[in-house]
Chain A
Amino acid sequence: MSLFDRLSEKSQLEIETAKEVGTKVVGLYCTFAPKELVRAVGAIPVGLCGKDQTPIRDAETILPANLCPLIKSSYGYAITNTCPYFYLSDFLIGETTCDGKKKMFELLGQLKPLFLMHLPPCCDENRSLNYWVGEVIRLKDFLERQTGTKIGEEELSRQIKIHNKKRVLLKEIVGYCANYPVPISGTDMMVVMESRNFLVDIEGYINNLQRLARELQAIKREGRSVCSPDAPRILLTGCPVGKGSEKVLRIIEECGGVVVCQEHCTGIKSFNLLVDEDDAPYKAIAHRYLKTPCSCMTPNQGRIELLCQLIEDFKIQGVVDLTWQCCHTYNVESYLIKTFLEKRYQIPLLHLETDYSESDTGQLKTRIEALLEMFH
C-alpha cells in the first residue's frame, strides 16, 4: 500500500518537471474523457474534480448554493487558484454530462481554454454512437492543435493497450475482495483506484498495481482479513467519492461494515469496460466510453446490469447509494435502483443524500448503523 501513499504529492513534483520540458497537462472532470487520446499526444491527464469542502464558499459567490458540492468544489478551486493541478493544467476537457457541470463549464472556460465534448443523453448505439465518434474525433483535432503533435495510429493503439492493461489489473485487484478474507479495506482501495487520476508515469503505476496484486494474493493466502468473517459486505454506488469526500465510505467501515465493492466513478464503473483492441481505434474508444453507465444517460440500463453483476460476484449484503446534494440524475435514479434491487435480490438499499461538510456525520452514522444492524 505504501506505493500509493502520498502519490498525489509525488506526482505534482513530477508534473512540474515534465512541464519544464514542454509536456502539456490536461485537466479532466469526468470519466467520459478518453484518456488514451490525451496520452497519445504526449500530454498528462489529471483529474480535477473537487472533493473538498474548503473552496465551496468562494464558489457560491458565483454559482447557486443549490448545486452539487463536486461542481462547486471544482469551480471554487479554479477561481481561488488553490488546486495545484488546476494551476498546472494547460487546458481543460469538459463534457455535457449533467446540467450543473455543463453550465459551470461555461464559466470555467473563461479561466482556461476548455474543450467541451457534447455527450448525447442516450447511450443507445443506434442513436448516439456515430455522433459520439464525431465528438471523439473533434477532441483529437483539438488535442493535436493544442500540442502540435499528430496522433499516430501506432501510438494510439499502444495507448489503448496500456489503458486496457491498467483496467484489467484494477479489476483483478478489486476482485480480491469478492470473498473472505478481505485483504484490503474499501478506504485503502479508494486510494489505490483514485491515484490513477494524476499520473505522470502510467507504466510505473501499472508496475505498482502488479506488486499490489501479488501482495494481496499473499495476504489472502495467509488468511488475513481487514474484517471479521461476519462483517456486513457493502457495495457503495452513486456519485463519485475520493480523498476529501470519503466520509460515507469511512463511516461504513468505522461502524463495522466492509465496503468490498465500489461502483461509482472512482471505482469499477470507470475501469470495468475495455476498449476493443481489434476494432477501428476511434470507434472503439467512442463505443467504450459511451457505454459508461452514468446516471446522466437516459435510460441507464447499464448501471442496473453492472450492479446485478457486482452484487452476485461480491456476495453483497447491502447497498449504499450515495447522492451528492442536488445531483438530480443520481438522485432520481436512486428510486429506480432501489425498487429494482429490492425486488430482485431482497437486499436493502440505503440512499444517502449529503454534501462535503461534516455537519451531518452523526445523522449519517445513525442511519448506517441501522443498516448494518440488519445483518446481525
Chain B
Amino acid sequence: MTEKGMNEKYEKMWEDLGLDISAHDGLLKVLGQFYGDIYLSQDKRLKGMEYLDFVLSEVHGLRIKELQDARAAGKKIIGTFCMFVPEELICAANSTAVGLCAGAEIGKEAAEKILPRNTCALIKSFVGFKLAKLCPYVESCDLVIGETTCDGKKKAYEIFQEYVPMHIMELPQMKGACDRDLYMTEVLKFKAKIEEVSGHDITADNLKEAIKLINNRRKALQRLNQLRKAIPTPISGRDVLLINQISFYDDPWRFTAKINELCDELEKRVQAGEGIVENDIPRLMMSGCPMAVPNWKLPYVVESSGAVIVGEESCIGTRNTRDLVDETGETMEKMINALVDRYMRIDCACFTPNPERLEHIVEMAKDLKVNGVIHYALQFCHPYTIEAYKVEKALEQENIPLLRIETDYSMEDIEQLKTRVEAFVEMVK
C-alpha cells in the first residue's frame, strides 16, 4: 500500500489513540525512506523477508489495528522495555506483550524538556515518543512494566509514570542465592499484578502453554542463527536484526511460523552454497547495547563498508534467544522456578560482575569465525561503555580485534563512523 493510502486508512485509529497526526506522518515518511535505502536496496534478499517488509510497513497500521481489536475483545496490552520481564506470564494471562524500546531521534526535543540531554538515546526516544504523541504502541498499553536495570531507566521511570500507568520490577545487580530470591519475589509480584490487570488467573495449564509458545519463538530465532553461520553468508546482518526487532512487536504464533518458513528457504540456500556476499568478505559480530526499530545506522554503515554482520550479541539478538525455559515442569512452582532460572542467566552489563557475557562473546566470536567484533554502546550507557574495556581484553587474549563505537541515534556522526569502520574492516581483512 502506498504511504498515503495507509495514512488515510488508519488516520481515524491514530486520532482515537491521541497521536499527533502531522508529526506522526513525518515519522512514517522518514521511516519509509530509511527502510527503502537500508533494506529494500539489498541484493539477493530471501523471499521470506517479504513478510518482514510487510510487517514493518504496517508496524503502526495493521499490527496496531490487531491490538485494538484484541482490546475490544477484552485482552490487555502490556508494554515492556526489557528482557528481564517474563513475557510468558503476560501470555499466560491471555494478554499481549509489546516492546516499547524506541530507536528514532524524532522525539528528542520533547524528551529533553524533562530528561537531561546526556541521557542515552534509547531512553530519550521512548520518553520522546510518548510526549510527542508518536507511538501507537504505548498508547495501546493497559500497563507498562519498568525494571531497575540501569540508572537512566530507573530514574526516568519515576517521571515517565506521570504519563503512563506503570509497574516497576526490582532487579538484582548480582547473582547470588539471595539475589535469585529477590528476583523470585519480584516475579511473583509481577504475576499477581498481571492477573489483576488482565482479570485472568495464571494457571499451570496456561503457563505451560505460554512457556512453549515463547520457547518456540526463541527456537525459530536460534535456528536462524545456526543457518546464517554458513559461509558464504546467506542473509545480511541487517535482515537478521530486523527479524529480532520484529519479534518484540508481532504476534508470537504468526512470527514463529513465518520465521520457520524463512529458515526453510534459508536452508535451501545454504545447501546450494549460495550467499549474499563473496566468501572472503570480512565477517563481523556486533556486541553491546540493543538496537531498537528503526536504529539500523551502524549495521548499515558496516555492511556498506565491505563487511558482513554474522551475529548480534545484544538484547535484540542472542541475549534474548540463547536460553530456553525448561519445559518439563508441571506444577506452578516448578514452572516459576524454571522462569526465574532462565531469566537470571541473562548476561546484561547491569550485573556486577558479569563474567558470563565475556565468555559468551568469546565463544560466539569463535563459533561464528568472525574476523572482528564491533562493540556498540549508546552514549552515556555506563554499564556497557565501562564493560567494553573488559570485552576488549577478553578478545585480545584470543587475538580477535575489537572496535569500540559509542554513538546515538543522530546521523551527524555517520561519516566519522564510516571512516572508523572502513579502517577496521581494512585491518581485519
Contact = CB atoms under 8 A, between A and B. Distances in A.
A298 B390 contact: no
A270 interface: no
Nearest to B355: A106
B319 to A, nearest CB: 17
Nearest to B176: A118
Nearest to A327: B151
A21 interface: no
Interface string A82-106: 0000000000000010111011111
Contact of A331 (B118, B157, B179): B118
Contact of A118 (B115, B118, B158, B174): B174
B383 to A, nearest CB: 5
A128 B379 CA distance: 31
Nearest to A68: B382
Contacts of A116: 174, 352
A326 B172 CA distance: 23
Given A96-B174, A120-B182, A298-B154, A331 B383 contact: no
Interface in A301-344: 323, 325-326, 328-329, 331-336
Given A120-B182, A122-B148, A66 B118 contact: yes
A102 B351 CA distance: 9
B162 to A, nearest CB: 9
Contacts of A105: 352
A326 B159 CA distance: 18
A64 B352 CA distance: 17
B380 A332 contact: no
A102 B352 contact: yes
A323 B155 CA distance: 14
B288 interface: no
A335 B114 contact: yes
A295 B363 CA distance: 38
A16 to B, nearest CB: 33
B178 A331 contact: no
Nearest to B150: A99
24 contacts: A63-B386, A67-B385, A100-B386, A103-B349, A103-B387, A106-B353, A106-B390, A118-B179, A120-B170, A121-B154, A121-B170, A127-B170, A298-B154, A298-B155, A298-B157, A299-B158, A323-B116, A325-B118, A328-B116, A331-B119, A332-B155, A334-B116, A335-B114, A335-B115
Interface of A: 62-64, 66-67, 96, 98-100, 102-107, 116, 118, 120-122, 127-128, 131, 134, 295-296, 298-299, 323, 325-326, 328-329, 331-336, 353
6 A-B pairs closest in CB distance: A332-B155, A103-B386, A99-B382, A328-B151, A64-B385, A121-B148
Given A67-B385, A329-B151, 14 more contacts: A66-B406, A96-B352, A98-B382, A103-B386, A103-B387, A105-B352, A107-B386, A118-B173, A121-B173, A127-B170, A332-B116, A335-B114, A335-B115, A336-B159
